[in-house]
C-alpha cells in the first residue's frame, strides 16, 4: 500500500478531527494558532482520494539556518493498529524533508500499559516499589507493543521525557474512565463511589461550606474575560508557591480565542468561589469524547473548604453530561516514592479512582544527521 501525504487546509484537517471519537487537542488546527512562534502546517494522509490520517505539524527552526525540527505533538492521527506503519510514516518523512525538516518528532497517541487505582495505591504503600516500572500493570496493550517494535525497526529513536526538547509531552498521564468496558456510560454515582474516602469527603465538605463552582467560555462574554484574569492571578500565585514559571496572560487569551473559535465546546474556564473569594480555578478542554483538565490554580488561603476537589468534580460531571469516554488529568511522573516531591501529584490524582496510563512516548527520526545532532546539542545547552 502506498499513501500520499500532502498539505491540507485547516478546514479539511478539522473535518478529519471531527470524524474521530478521540483526538488530542494538540493535533487540532487551532493549536497551531496557540503556538504562534512556530511555523505550522496541516497535513493529510491519503489512500487515493480517501483521507486516512491527519496531523498538525509545528516547525521549530534551527538557529541561523532555514532548517526545522518537524514536531507532531500527540500525533499524527492515524490507524496505529496497522502492521505496516512504514507505509504511512515514510511518505510523511519525505513530505517534511521537502519542507526543510532535518528531523521529525512524533508522539503516537497509543497506550502501552495501565495501572488501576488499587494497583497504584498498593505500589505507593510498598517501600520496594519506587516507580511504575516496579509495579505489575493491570493491563498491557498489544497495539502499543507493536507500535514500539515497528518504530524501532524503522529507525525511529525513543526520547526521554526530561531534557532536550522543551515542548515534550508527558509519557505518563492519569485518567478517569467514564465508560464501562462494554461501552456503556458510567453514572455520576458510579464515578463518585470509585473515588477514595478522602475525595468523597472533600467534595461533600466543599458543598457544605458553600463553595460555588461556575464556568464560562465565550470569548466575547465579559464574564469570560473577567474569569480569565482572575484565573491568571491565582495561577501566578500558585506558581510562586509551587516554584514553577507561569505563562503570561496573553498566552491564555490566545488559547481561549483560538480553541473557542474552532468549536464552542472546545474550552471552558471553571471557577470555585467561597463567600466571593476565588479558591480554585481551572481550564478544561474537550475534543470529541476526550475531556482534559489542562491548567489549574488554587489559593493558599481557605484550603480547608476544598475548592480544588469541588472544581474537579464539577468538570467530571460536565464531561459525563457531554458523553465523554474519559476525563484526563494529564501528566504525572512515574514515581511511587513517597519521598519524591512529585509523589504528591499522583497521590492526589489516584484519589479520583482512575488509572495511571503509559503511552509509547515521543520518537525522533533524523533526516539530516549533522543538523539533527547540532540541534540536540543546542537544546541540551539551553
| Residue 20 confidence (pLDDT) above 90 | yes
The model carries a pTM of: 0.94
- The enclosing H or E element of 66 equals none
For residue range 50-94, list pLDDT tens digits in order: 999 999 999 998 888 889 999 999 999 999 999 999 999 999 999
Q: How far apart are CA 368 and CA 2, in angstroms?
A: 24
User: What's the first-to-final CA gap in the chain, in angstroms?
Assistant: 42
Asked whether 267 and 306 are in contact (CB, 8 A), the reply is: no
Closest CA to 111 of 54, 173, 30: 173
Closest CA to 219 of 179, 252, 174, 181: 252
C-alpha distances in Å from residue 40, one per residue of 26, 33, 155, 314, 371 = 12, 8, 25, 34, 20
Cell representation of residue 234: 491565582
For residue range 148-157, list pLDDT tens digits in order: 999 999 999 9
- How would you list the strands of the sheet with 290-298, edge to edge? 139-140, 111-116, 355-359, 172-177, 326-331, 290-298, 277-287, 267-274, 212-216
Please report which confidence band the pLDDT of residue 342 belongs to, taking 50, 70 and 90 as the band edges. confident
User: Which pLDDT score is estimated for 382?
Assistant: 66
For residue range 273-292, list pLDDT tens digits in order: 999 999 999 999 999 999 99
User: Which pLDDT score is estimated for 167?
Assistant: 47
Domains of the chain in sequence order: 4-107+362-381 (3.40.630.30), 179-324 (3.40.630.30)
What is the bridge-based pairing of β-strands 39-47 and 4-7? antiparallel
**Helix axes 197-208 and 307-321, enclosed angle (nearest 10):** 100
Amino acid at each position: 500500500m502506498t499513501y500520499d501525504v500532502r498539505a491540507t487546509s485547516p478546514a479539511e484537517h478539522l473535518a478529519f478531527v471531527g470524524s474521530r471519537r478521540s483526538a488530542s487537542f494538540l493535533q487540532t488546527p487551532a493549536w497551531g494558532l496557540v503556538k504562534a512562534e512556530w511555523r505550522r502546517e496541516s497535513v493529510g494522509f491519503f489512500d487515493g482520494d480517501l483521507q486516512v490520517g491527519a496531523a498538525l505539524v509545528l516547525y521549530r527552526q534551527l538557529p541561523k539556518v532555514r532548517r526545522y525540527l518537524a514536531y507532531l505533538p500527540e500525533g499524527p492521527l492515524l490507524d496505529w493498529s496497522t502492521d505496516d506503519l512504514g507505509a504511512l510514516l515514510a511518505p510523511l518523512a519525505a513530505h517534511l524533508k521537502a519542507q526543510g525538516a532535518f528531523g521529525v518528532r512524533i508522539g503516537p497517541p497509543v497506550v502501552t500499559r495501565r495501572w488501576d487505582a488499587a494497583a497504584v495505591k498498593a505500589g505507593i504503600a510498598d517501600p520496594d516499589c519506587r516507580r511504575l516500572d516496579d509495579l505489575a500493570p493491570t493491563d498491557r496493550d498489544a497495539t502499543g507493543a507493536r507500535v514500539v517494535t515497528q518504530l524501532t525497526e524503522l529507525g525511529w529513536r525513543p526520547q526521554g521525557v526530561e531534557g532536550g526538547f522543551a515542548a515534550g509531552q508527558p509519557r505518563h498521564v492519569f485518567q478517569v474512565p467514564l465508560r464501562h468496558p462494554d461501552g456503556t456510560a458510567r453514572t455520576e454515582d458510579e464515578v463518585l463511589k470509585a473515588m477514595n474516602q478522602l475525595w468523597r469527603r472533600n467534595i461533600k465538605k466543599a458543598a457544605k461550606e458553600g463553595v460555588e463552582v461556575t464556568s464560562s467560555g465565550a470569548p466575547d462574554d465579559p464574564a469570560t474575560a473577567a474569569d480569565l484574569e482572575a484565573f491568571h492571578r491565582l495561577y501566578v500565585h500558585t506558581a510562586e508557591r509551587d516554584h514553577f514559571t507561569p505563562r503570561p496572560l496573553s498566552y491564555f487569551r490566545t488559547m481561549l480565542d483560538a480553541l473557542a473559535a474552532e468549536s464552542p465546546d472546545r474550552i471552558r474556564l471553571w471557577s470555585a468561589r467561597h463567600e466571593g473569594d476565588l479558591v480554585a480555578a481551572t481550564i478544561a478542554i474537550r475534543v470529541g469524547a476526550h475531556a482534559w483538565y489542562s491548567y489549574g490554580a488554587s489559593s493558599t488561603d481557605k484550603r480547608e473548604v476544598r475548592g480544588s476537589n469541588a472544581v474537579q468534580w464539577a468538570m467530571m460531571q460536565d464531561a459525563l453530561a457531554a458523553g465523554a469516554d474519559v476525563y484526563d488529568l494529564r501528566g504525572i511522573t512515574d514515581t511511587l516514592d513517597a519521598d519524591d516531591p512529585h509523589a504528591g501529584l499522583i497521590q492526589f490524582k489516584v484519589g479520583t479512582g482512575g488509572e495511571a496510563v503509559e503511552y509509547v512516548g515521543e520518537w525522533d527520526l533524523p533526516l539530516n544527521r549533522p543538523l539533527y545532532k547540532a540541534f540536540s546539542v543546542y537544546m541540551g545547552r539551553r
